[in-house]
């Protein structure tokens, strides 16, 4: 039986990289993204060219009805969900000193990155609990966190706080769902070359050149997607609630 991936924020960037990777792995793919399907059609065409079995729903992870519609459409089309990747995320629209951070920006970033992930996980976990085990587990949930879960940036506090929350919700769901055969993991990208990092491209390129990242290059969506694929493999089984840094070694403290 084919396996089914549900990925949020899959029209571009890391999320699209994950959709493509899992299509290559033989999964049926369901994408939920706030963008219209036509906006990043040039990416989605690649799935067609691969002969992938996929569908796209335009929707917002912050909105309950959209989450419910996503899950019910996946079940109607594919019958089950084997993997959920909570990837949809936003940076603050404007980087602002924490002392001037607005409540609107906090609600926008935390609402997307933390609340969206929290409640998408809840509804998909309940769906997985209605499903039979396939092989060694019932399902895998992967949260795309960030190095910012533990690295402070005082000009985008709301982002750091949202990703710190993702770290804890990974632990809570991992603990709750382990006995049910559902494993929950967190992937922490460092600096990945996507639309999100366009505004800081020059700064990060300089930091890479200055040696901040032991693997001295930008990360790619494929770098992240490959690791997500690995943790969903049946051989990755006696572990849950962990995180993996996909950051070129940025997390290593050095003297």
Interatomic CA distance for residues 59 and 56, integer angstroms:
9
| From 6, 19, 30, 34, residue interacting with ligand NAD (rule: CB under 6 A) | 34
Does 144 sit near ligand NAD (CB under 6 A)?
Answer: yes
Q: Which of 36, 38, 32 is nearest to 16 (CA)?
A: 32
Our CB check for ligand NAD shows the closer of 110 and 192 to be: 192
C-alpha 69/C-alpha 57 separation (Å) is 9
Question: Which of 7, 13, 140, 245 is the binder for ligand NAD (CB under 6 A)?
Answer: 13
Min separation Cβ 133 and ligand NAD, Å: 29
Considering 27, 56, 159, 243, which one is annotated as catalytic?
A: 159
Closest to ligand NAD by CB, 78 or 250? 250
Is residue 254 helix, strand or coil? coil
Residue 238: burial class (beta carbons within 10 Å; 0-12, 13-18, 19+): exposed
246 counts as binding ligand NAD under rule CB under 6 A: no
At closest approach, how far in Å is the CB of 203 from ligand NAD? 12
Question: CB 210 → ligand NAD: shortest distance, Å?
Answer: 17
Check if 27 is active-site. Answer: no
The span of 31-39, 48-56, 97-105, 208-216 binding ligand NAD (CB under 6 A) equals: 31-39
| Beta bridge mates, 142 | 85, 185
Tell the smallest beta-carbon distance from residue 137 to ligand NAD (Å): 24
d(CA 37, CA 56): 7
Which of these segments, 46-54, 59-67, 94-102, 207-215, binds ligand NAD (CB under 6 A)? 59-67
Long-range contacts of 37-45 (CB under 8 A, 24+ apart): 37/11, 39/11, 40/11, 40/12, 40/16, 43/11, 43/12, 43/16, 44/11
> Which candidate, 50, 44, 46, places its Cα nearest to that of 10?
44
196 binds ligand NAD (CB under 6 A): yes
The alpha-carbon radius of gyration of the chain (Å, integer) is 18
Cα atoms in the Cβ-side hemisphere of radius 13 Å centred on 216: 7
By CB under 6 A, name the one of 37, 53, 60, 180 that touches ligand NAD: 60
| Among residues 4, 5, 6, 14, the one that binds ligand NAD under rule CB under 6 A | 14
Site residues (CB under 6 A) for ligand NAD, limited to 81-120 = 87-90, 112, 116
Q: Which residues are catalytic?
A: 159
Give me the residues that bind ligand NAD (CB under 6 A), please. 8-9, 11-15, 32-35, 60-62, 87-90, 112, 116, 144, 146, 189, 191-192, 194-197
């Amino acid at each position: 039986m084919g396996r089914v991936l549900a990925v949020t924020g899959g029209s571009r960037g890391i999320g699209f990289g994950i959709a493509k990777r899992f299509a290559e792995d033989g999964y049926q793919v369901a994408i939920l993204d706030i963008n219209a399907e036509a906006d990043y059609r040039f990416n989605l065409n690649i799935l067609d060219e691969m002969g992938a079995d996929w569908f796209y729903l335009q929707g917002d992870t912050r909105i309950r009805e959209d989450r419910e519609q996503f899950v019910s459409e996946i079940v109607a089309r594919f019958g089950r969900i084997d993997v959920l990747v909570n990837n949809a995320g936003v940076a603050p629209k404007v980087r602002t000193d924490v002392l001037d951070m607005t409540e609107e920006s906090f609600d926008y970033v935390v609402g997307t990155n933390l609340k969206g992930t929290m409640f998408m996980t809840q509804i998909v976990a309940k769906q997985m609990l209605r499903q039979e085990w396939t092989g060694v587990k019932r399902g895998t949930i992967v949260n795309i966190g960030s190095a910012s879960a533990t690295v402070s940036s005082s000009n985008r506090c709301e982002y750091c706080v949202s990703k710190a929350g993702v770290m804890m919700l990974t632990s809570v769901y991992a603990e709750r769902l382990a006995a049910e055969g559902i494993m929950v993991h967190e992937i922490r990208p460092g600096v990945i070359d996507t639309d999100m990092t366009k505004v800081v491209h020059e700064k990060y390129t300089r930091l890479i050149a200055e040696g901040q990242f032991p693997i001295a290059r930008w990360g790619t969506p494929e770098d992240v997607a490959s690791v997500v694929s690995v943790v969903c493999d049946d051989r990755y089984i006696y572990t849950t609630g962990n995180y993996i840094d996909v950051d070129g070694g940025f997390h290593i403290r050095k003297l």
